[in-house]
Amino acid sequence: METYNNVVLEQLPKHLKRYVVAQQYERYTALDQALWRYVMRQNYSFLKDVAYYPYIPGLKKAGLSIAHIPDLQQMNDSLKLIGWGAVTVDGFIPPAAFMEFQAHRVLVIAADIRQLEHIEYTPAPDIIHESSGHAPIIGEPDYAVYLQYFGEIGTKALSSRKDFELYEAIRHLSILKEHAGTTEAELAEAENKLKTVQDNMGEPSEMALLSRLHWWTVEYGLIGSLDDPKIYGAGLLSSIGESASCMQKSVPKLPYDLNTVAYTYDITKPQPQLFVTPDFEHLMDVLNQFADTMAFRLGGKQSLEKAIDCQAVCTAVYSSGLQVSGIFKAANADQSISYIQTTGPTALAFSGEQLAGHGISYHREGFGSPVGYLTGSNKDLADFSDEELSAYGISKGKRCSLHYSSGIVVEGVVLEVVRQAGKVVLISFEDCEVYRNGRKEIYFKPEWGTYDMAVGTEIISVFAGAADKDAYESIGEEIAEPSAVLYTQNEDSKLLSLHALIGALRSGSFDTEHWTDIFDQLSAEITDNWLALIELYEIAWANHAYDLAESAQGKLKTIITIRPSLKKLIDDGLRVAKEESLNNH
């Protein structure tokens, strides 16, 4: 993985590095560059008045330019100065991974760029949204702290099976929308699939609720007063359509608070309302209020039941600090937890580091252990001294019988007592039987091998994923190159060639004959030529060739008559080209 001489990227854990792909800057075509330039110039023209932060200084702090698609090396050269980094990925990545990158102060940037027909907005991640939207505001220290903290909270959020279905449905639809060869039938099928999933989500999970807070702040947030808010959300900052329409009074502006979690969102449509925070400190307050309701802070049986429902790898933390990572299943019907049980590969860890010999290859068929106090003791077994352990018969090589207040009994020969940070976290037995109610409930039999018993009176925390992800997932650093291709690779080859000629004209000395030769090849009957004509118009204006600019404008007017939906894009392009030329002279 390329780290761009940025220590922030060098310190990324292996399980995140596998999502990173090479940017391959040479893949961007002249049309891609023109598309970037158009969006960024429009953004600056409008956002300089409505964005929360100074737009141009923010771009420079992030290593971005209005003139060309960002290069990841340049971005990292700038971002590392403020303790952040940036990597490119292949479109959508799982929400949990996205959050974890954020927690490590790394911006995740989709390598692809949207199609010309989606120049105003795309539901799929692309380099315009991820870089020009998220990166410039990182220079605001309070916001950068919020973004990182949100990632830390989000990494622990429990998801549901429905969340995964929704993620896959959105991902599939977004890819289809950005693929030039998608048919109407394929699009309709994907939209129906998404609607079916959305209509049958059931009770929202922690991740679903947290994603709403993320959406209404990081993506679509406003800051200031309800009467005069400013934009800071990346989704708005990177959408030349919605950044303007959202500021209209017809879009309600509501105060941002914890009640915002009740508002769902649709990634494919303009937002029906937006939320305004008075300052970034308020965002932290609301996030902490929500975090106080999450399983990783609450623990207990209700939190464990959430983990059981999600049927994905989660971690339960004993009061001793021992972390059990695996897929949990119901083990007892008591009002409080008396026994936990996982199924399939399980790992034990302490402080996020896997215990030696207790990885998924050893606990490949699952792990089970009691929770609670020993009968007649009001002290956590984790806090027992060696003398107290001996008093209960817990000595290496000796047989003992441990009776829990829940009625669970553990009988076997002690093999090992494991301590971490001064606490007993694990006791291993051989020739061991674990049962309850006079052996009517059997949890472990001697013939099953060694019994490793976790120690602790309660489950104090439950969170998503493994405690030691690198060890649990047993993965390498890299994955294959992106499966998706740059969207514009499916565009018309002649149009790409003409944009390449325009790019050469822009970077060299102005030549009227060269300009005219390109112009003559751009038929107004082909409406996709509008951006190329805007580019020629701008070049002509900048070089005071007003007669040529008027010719380009004439063809653009013809395009508008053929395709009226392009009127705003064309009018805005002409306006900004004139403004920029006048400002430069």
Binding residues for Fe cation: 129, 134, 219
SS3 content of the chain, % helix, strand, coil (to 5): 50, 20, 35
Distance CA(137)–CA(62), nearest Å, equals 8
DSSP letters spanning 487-512: GGGGS-HHHHHHHHHHHHHHHS---H
Give the DSSP H or E segment for 396: none
Beta strands in 65-191 (DSSP E): 85-89, 106-110
Distance CA(519)–CA(523), nearest Å, equals 8
Residue 426: strand pairing partners: 418, 454
Listed in sequence order, the residues at least 6 apart from 269 whose beta carbon sits closer than 8 Å to its beta carbon are none
DSSP letters spanning 400-454: EEEEBTTS-EEEEEEEEEEEETTEEEEEEEEEEEEEETTTTEEEE-GGG--EEEE
User: Strand pairing of 222-224 and 274-277?
Assistant: parallel
For the annotated binding site, the residues are: 129, 134, 219
Distance CA(16)–CA(102), nearest Å, equals 11
